[in-house]
């Protein structure tokens, strides 16, 4: 939920790279800033806050940092295809040596619904189309996303890797069967923004209340529409107990999942569905609107651990799905499988980075 989860993931990447490459590769993270420059070492990880504006002043940029002065990077990895991608391209050109660039797509890029969602998204899409021309390799988070990006950006899939963002679930200790509370606790987890389907969530809760379902609501996350959501909930269902937990550090999310009985996922565009997968891993069933990421959870749907809904569904239909999901116990084998897939994704990312850095050759 917080930026600490991103930092912890980078630290795990650094450890994995160091181990897999037998100390030949260290990870450096360039974080784009406007003007501020700073660098810090954390074990094998070098984190650099790098000012893009300084590229306007070549003399100032004479020494980029230890990352580029002392060790020419074998691979530049951009965490997004706009600001991060621009920074990777600028650094590559400054180095004046051939350096592979990998651009990562974490959002629901290529999805026409996402592109049409806002002017901001349309601008990001235009920038990404320019930046992607400089990339040697592209990483997507799902098969569906790979298809959309390959089509809309005219990319060869042989230069693309599908590997979702690791959640480090294999490092978590799994408890036995989850115990459900007498009064169900329904959760909304993630960024509180209108593009995450907040109105759909409010409408869903109203329909469940209309069918006399008793439950409480836990909302975990922060965002610009928190005040709007708080007011909307008070107006729409004043008798439902609602708790706002704000941002929760990744290390404490386990406690949040253990205190939930059902996750509601309403985002109309979801490239991977991280919260849904985390919920299933911790034994929490999911009621979700369809999206490219959620739709890929076919096994969870077939086993009845996840059900889809649309905003136009009748209240009785939704209440019946609600009841079915609350009776489901997610098997330990299925939860272990999610963790195993998560570890495999992590290892695939590390292997691909080593290949792209030319430390080993593909066979």
- What's the predicted TM-score (pTM) here? 0.86
pLDDT digits (tens, 9 = 90+) for 137-147: 999 988 888 98
Q: How confident is the model at residue 360 (pLDDT cuts 50, 70, 90)?
A: very low
Bridge partners, residue 160, by sequence: 138
Q: Domain 3-162 in CATH: superfamily?
A: Glycogen Phosphorylase B; (3.40.50.2000)
Q: In this predicted model, which residue has the larger pLDDT, 107 or 80?
A: 80
Write out pLDDT tens, residues 319-330.
Answer: 999 999 999 999
Q: What DSSP string describes 243-278? A: EEEE---GGGHHHHHHT-SEEEE--S--SS-HHHHH
Q: Which pLDDT score, from 0 to 100, does residue 3 have?
A: 60
The answer on pLDDT for 232 being more than 90 is: yes
| pLDDT, tens only, 245-301 | 999 887 789 999 999 999 999 998 887 889 999 999 999 999 999 988 898 899 999
- 188-205 pLDDT, tens digit per residue, is 999 999 889 999 999 999
Indicate where the chain has its CATH 3.40.50.2000 domain(s). Answer: 3-162, 171-331
Contact 189, 222 (CB under 8 A): no
CATH of 171-331, one of 3.40.640.10, 3.30.499.10, 3.40.50.2000, 3.40.630.30: 3.40.50.2000
pLDDT above 90 (res 63): no
**Secondary structure letter of residue 178 according to DSSP:** P
């Amino acid at each position: 939920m917080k930026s600490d989860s991103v930092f912890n993931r980078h630290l795990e990447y650094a450890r994995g790279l160091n181990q897999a490459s037998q100390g030949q590769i260290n990870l450096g993270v360039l974080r784009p800033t406007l003007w501020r420059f700073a660098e810090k070492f954390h074990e094998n990880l070098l984190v650099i806050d790098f000012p893009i504006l300084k590229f306007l002043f070549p003399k100032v940029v004479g020494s980029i940092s230890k990352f580029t002065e002392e060790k020419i990077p074998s691979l530049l990895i951009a965490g997004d295809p706009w600001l991060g991608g621009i920074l990777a391209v600028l650094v590559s050109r400054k180095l004046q040596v051939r350096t592979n660039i990998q651009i990562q797509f974490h959002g629901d890029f290529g999805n026409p619904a996402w592109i049409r969602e806002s002017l901001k998204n349309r601008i990001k899409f235009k920038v990404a189309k320019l930046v992607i021309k400089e990339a040697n390799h592209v990483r997507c988070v799902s098969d569906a996303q790979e298809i959309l990006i390959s089509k809309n950006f005219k990319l060869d899939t042989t230069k693309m890797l599908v590997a979702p963002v690791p959640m480090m679930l294999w490092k978590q200790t799994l408890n036995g069967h989850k115990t459900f509370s007498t009064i169900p606790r329904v959760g909304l987890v993630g960024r509180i923004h209108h593009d995450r389907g907040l109105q759909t969530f409010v409408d869903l809760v109203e329909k469940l209340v209309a069918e006399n379902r008793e439950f409480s609501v836990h909302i975990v996350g922060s965002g610009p529409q928190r005040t709007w959501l708080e007011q909307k909930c008070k107006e729409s269902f004043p008798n439902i107990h609602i708790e706002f937990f704000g941002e929760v550090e990744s290390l404490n999310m386990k406690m949040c999942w253990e205190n939930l009985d059902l996750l509601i996922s309403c985002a109309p565009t979801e490239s991977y569905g991280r919260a849904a997968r985390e919920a299933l891993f911790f034994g929490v069933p999911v009621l979700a609107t369809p999206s490219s990421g959620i739709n890929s959870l076919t096994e969870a749907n077939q086993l009845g651990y996840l059900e889809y809904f649309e905003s136009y569904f009748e209240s009785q239909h939704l209440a019946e799905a609600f009841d079915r999901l609350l009776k489901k116990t997610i098997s330990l084998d299925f939860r272990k499988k999610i963790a195993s897939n998560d570890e495999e994704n992590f290892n695939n990312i590390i292997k691909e980075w080593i290949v792209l850095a030319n430390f080993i050759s593909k066979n």
